[in-house]
């Protein structure tokens, strides 16, 4: 269960198997989403004190809100959630809504070296062939272009090709922010000389030559 933050001190609501959050964020400590939600609520309380307590007047309302935010943000990594919260605190004068935080999470891809969907789409459409040799800004851009289809990106209108590319790109971005490694399958280059199958006559002649050379 989530750790609740009261007006003046943390109110631990601890269930078996869940470690109580200290309220202190350390970049060297690996957090889960429960820790991340606890942390952003603590930061929201500090940054928007009066607004925070007007929105969450008691512990019960905070418990309900934290469970709702936890479920809504389940597709984002803890680090992505924390950095999105810091971003909205720096830019908004009022207590952010869950929609504002989701938007900030979507825009925080640069934290993982990922370009925005629009930038990725432009890169995929303008990259020259051979595609596998192009110095991509991130493997996810190449893989999304490959999944959408290079021919589609080159021939279809943006209104039709971008949604397809964006669908695959968003899926790949989720893998990246969850710490998964993307694999690019490199096509082996063709040999300089391609072997040709021998005809029956050529095969017999070559076999006879080998026998003569071996004295058989």
User: How do residues 112-123 score in pLDDT, each as one tens digit?
Assistant: 788 888 899 999
Q: Determine the pLDDT at residue 174.
A: 81
Q: Determine the pLDDT at residue 30.
A: 57
Q: Label each residue of the chain as H, E or C.
A: CCCEECCCCEECCCCCCCCCCCCCCCCCCCCCHHHHHHHHHHHHHHHCHHHHHHHCCCHHHHHHHHHHHHHHCCCCCHHHHHHHHHHHHHHCCCCCCHHHHHHHHHCCHHHHCCCCHHHHHHHHHHCCCCHHHCCCCCHHHHHHHHHHCHHHHHHCCHHHHHHHHHHHHHHHHHHHHCCCCCCCCCCCCCCCCCCCCCCHHHHHHHHHHHHHHHCC
How far, in Å, CA of 175 to CA of 172, rounded? 5
Q: Determine the pLDDT at residue 74.
A: 84
Q: Determine the pLDDT at residue 194.
A: 52
- Across all residues in the chain, what is the average pLDDT? 79
Query: Residue 22: pLDDT above 60?
Result: no
**Residue boundaries of the structural domains of the chain:** 4-107, 113-216
| CB-based contact 124:141 (threshold 8 Å) | yes
Q: Average the pLDDT over 8-31 and give the result.
A: 41
How far, in Å, CA of 104 to CA of 97, rounded? 11
Q: Average the pLDDT over 181-190 and give the result.
A: 63
Query: Residue 50: pLDDT above 60?
Result: yes
Q: What are phi and psi of 95, to 5 degrees?
A: -55, 120
């Amino acid at each position: 269960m989530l750790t609740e933050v009261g007006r003046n001190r943390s109110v631990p609501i601890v269930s078996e198997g869940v470690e109580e959050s200290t309220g202190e964020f350390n970049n060297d400590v690996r957090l889960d989403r429960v820790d991340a939600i606890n942390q952003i609520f603590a930061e929201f309380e500090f940054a928007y004190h009066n607004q925070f307590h007007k929105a969450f007047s008691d512990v019960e309302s905070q418990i309900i809100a934290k469970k709702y935010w936890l479920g809504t943000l389940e597709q984002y990594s803890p680090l992505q959630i924390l950095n999105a919260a810091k971003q909205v605190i720096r830019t908004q004068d009022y207590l952010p809504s869950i929609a504002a935080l989701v938007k900030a999470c979507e825009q925080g891809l640069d934290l993982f070296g990922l370009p925005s969907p629009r930038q990725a789409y432009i890169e995929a459409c303008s990259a020259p062939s051979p595609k596998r040799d192009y110095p991509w800004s991130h493997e996810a851009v190449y893989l999304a272009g490959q999944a959408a289809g290079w021919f589609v990106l080159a021939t279809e209108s943006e209104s039709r090709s971008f949604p397809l590319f964006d669908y695959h790109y968003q899926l790949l971005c989720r893998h990246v922010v969850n710490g998964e490694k993307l694999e690019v399958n490199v096509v082996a280059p063709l040999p300089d000389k391609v072997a040709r199958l021998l005809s029956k006559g050529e095969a017999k002649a070559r076999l006879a030559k080998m026998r003569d050379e071996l004295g058989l």
